Amino acid sequence: MGKLALPGQLGGLAEIATATSFWCESLLVEGIAVASVRLEVDAGGRISRVQPGVAPETTDTRLGTVLPGFGNAHSHAFHRALRGRTHGEGGDFWLWRESMYRIAAQLDPESYQALATAVFAEMLASGYTAVGEFHYLHHHRDGEPYVPAHAMELALASAARAVGIRLVLLDTVYLQGAIGRELAPNQRAFGDEGVAGWLARWKSLRSRLADNDLVTLGAAVHSVRAVTPDAMRNVFAGLPPEIPVHIHLSEQPQENADCEIEYGLTPAGLLDSIDALTPRLSVVHATHLSDDDRALLGFARVTVVMCPTTEADLGDGIGPALALAHSGSPIALGSDQNAVIDPFLEMRGLEMGERLASQKRGRFAPAELLTAASTAGYSALGLGRHRLQPGDPCDLVEISTTSVRTSGSLPEQLALTASASDVMRVFVGGRLVADSGQLIGGIRPAALMTDALQRLALRQAD
């Protein structure tokens, strides 16, 4: 295949002007609907002034009901290629993982960029204005690095910039196939030459992304299965202290059992033993925890990223989200395998899981769900405060309140009634990037996905 050519006029983001002011009929600020709010925006795309209860000015971009842009705190973009193709097999996470490995083996930088562009486009049109991509497809399938370097990582960065979404690239260290086992042949693309090799690659990549206004570099440890305690110590010691670090934690009971057999500790206890539990850390899933685990995470103010649609799809179980929140852990949300891309379904999934487990309603308040989907996600990704206050990024999502789903809803309860289909205009840094399910220029995410999957099918046929 030749050079990546995407449908439409994708790539013209730099030509879009940043709006200097908005007037919102209703703006949800920390979950509370505030009427007639005017926002002024500086040249850097940040809110410079907030004026509630005022009339619009002639130069304002007028909006209806507006929410803060959603922060997707955990994504594996390439998993989207499995949507609608694994749901009839039965089995469990481990069976599904074999299908995931087969998709990973087919991707190269060109096909990965096409797929990620389509996935990020769907996210943006669904209301996600930022995404944390938990990325470990680093090399050729045999483990040989790409030349030039960072080809897969730069493919993701290019995809994000093309559509206009904020990307925190969580470059992942993945050094062993399971506790005490070398990487299997279908995992070699994920590995590096030890922690020193990963850190060297991470620092080189950071310099490549230094001048990228939408893309920043974070870090991830895949799991306690994939990185030893000593290696994890070196990862944390080798990274600048401001860099967010994510890790899969206790998604499966087998992970807990293997960790306890090898180290005599639960995964959370192991992280505590190496002083890794700090507010910079986000743990993903945390489905199968002991009471002591919850207390450790909460006391350290570790963010827990729940992925309700994925955890349900894979049969992982229902994590103790409310108990973790009460222990002190901020709760964020992610789309993970992208079998569903809809921040409203993640919010509802978080609440409905709690209701099913407790047989009680109203476990998380709607304002708390909105915080998990927006503010907490941005914080977990190292993107700073996101409360629609002066100094915050002007990342906005306009929601229809007259659809068959939302008509009659109180604005404060849209988290429990709306869906991605109700997303109207989406702004990142004050720039209009999507409108009514399409990107700027009328580009449809579905067309991008069709193109990407056709490319992938051709590679599989080779």
Domain ranges of the chain: 1-253+308-317+331-462
For 1-253+308-317+331-462, give the CATH class: alpha beta
CA 419 to the chain's CA centroid: 18
pLDDT tens track of the chain, all 462 residues? 344 444 334 554 545 678 899 999 999 999 999 999 999 999 999 999 999 999 999 999 999 999 999 999 999 999 999 999 998 878 899 898 999 999 999 999 999 999 999 999 999 999 999 999 999 999 999 999 999 999 999 999 999 999 999 999 999 999 999 999 999 999 999 999 999 999 999 999 999 999 888 999 999 999 999 999 999 999 999 999 999 999 999 999 999 999 999 999 999 999 999 999 999 999 999 999 999 999 999 999 999 999 999 999 999 999 999 999 999 999 999 999 999 999 999 999 999 999 999 999 999 999 999 999 999 999 999 999 999 999 999 999 999 999 999 999 999 999 999 999 999 999 999 999 999 999 998 999 999 999 999 989 877 766
d(CA 200, CA 155) in angstroms, rounded, equals 19
Task: Name the H helices within 281-434.
Answer: 291-299, 308-313, 321-327, 343-358, 366-373, 375-380
d(CA 415, CA 367) in angstroms, rounded, equals 8
d(CA 26, CA 28) in angstroms, rounded, equals 7
Task: Specify the DSSP element, H or E, that contains 25.
Answer: strand 21-29
pTM for the whole structure: 0.96
153-175: burial string, b at 16+ Cβ within 10 Å, e else: bbbbbbbbbbbbbbbbbbbbbbb
Q: Is 306 exposed, middle or buried (0-12, 13-18, 19+ CB in 10 A)?
A: buried
Phi, psi of 320 (to 5 degrees): -85, 65
Task: Specify the DSSP element, H or E, that contains 304.
Answer: strand 303-306
d(CA 126, CA 148) in angstroms, rounded, equals 34
d(CA 351, CA 349) in angstroms, rounded, equals 5
pLDDT at 78: 96
Phi, psi of 388 (to 5 degrees): 60, 45
Amino acid symbol at 207 = S
228-231, long-range: CB < 8 A, 24+ apart: 228/175, 228/176, 229/263, 229/270, 229/273, 229/274, 231/173, 231/175, 231/194, 231/195
